[in-house]
Amino acid sequence: MSGANTTDERETVRRILTGSGDTWAVVGLSNNQSRAAYGVAAVLKRFGKRVVPVHPKAETVHGEQGYASLAEIPFPVDVVDVFVNSELAGAVADEAVAEGARAVWFQLGVVDQAAYERTRAAGLDMVMDRCPAIEIPRLG
């Protein structure tokens, strides 16, 4: 895990979900309804987040125009939610920092300790190996 204690991590989760902003780029989101990203994006939308799909296909998903990369999104993104393999996730986190995101969220099973440390050192909030669709209802 991140090395942060559980209380710190819970606070970071709460801060990202309630205070980082409502525009979420979901990297790996396509119209494939069998993929976890599709369902998680639906939950985020239900909780008032704007969900921007980022996928090589650049498909429109859940009514929102998709983009092939974070760099192509023509407006600011608050949180980058990462649904790619751990081997690819670090590059996405670096791009999120470069594009001015406020936070990075690595989904369940996505772990890159070096990327976590780089992203935190750049001043962004970050969590790894967690799911916002699980965490957001817990906020109460």
Does residue 118 form part of some domain? no
Specify the pLDDT at position 69.
Answer: 96
Specify the pLDDT at position 2.
Answer: 44
Does residue 46 form part of some domain? yes
Does residue 115 form part of some domain? no
Per-residue confidence in pLDDT tens, the chain, 140 aa: 444 567 899 999 999 999 999 999 999 999 999 999 999 999 999 999 999 999 999 999 999 999 999 999 999 999 999 999 999 999 999 999 999 999 999 999 999 999 999 999 999 999 999 999 999 988 87
Whether this prediction's pTM lies above 0.85 is answered by yes
- Strands 79-82 and 50-54, by their bridges, are unpaired
Does residue 72 form part of some domain? no
Contacts of 33 (CB under 8 A, 6+ apart): 39
The token pair at 20 is 């980082």
30 is in which domain, residue-wise? 6-67+77-110+123-139
Does residue 103 form part of some domain? yes
Does residue 62 form part of some domain? yes
40 within 8 A of 132, measured Cβ to Cβ? yes
Give how many domains the chain has, as a whole number.
1
Specify the pLDDT at position 5.
Answer: 64
Does residue 18 form part of some domain? yes
In what side-by-side order are the strands of the sheet with 50-54? 50-54, 23-27, 79-82, 103-106, 125-127
> Any idea what the CATH number is for the domain that residue 95 is in?
3.40.50.720
Does residue 1 form part of some domain? no
- State the residue for tokens 């090395």: 3
Specify the pLDDT at position 139.
Answer: 86
DSSP letter assigned to residue 85: -
Handedness of CA 79, 85, 86, 92 (dihedral sign): negative
20 within 8 A of 79, measured Cβ to Cβ? yes
Handedness of CA 121, 4, 17, 56 (dihedral sign): positive
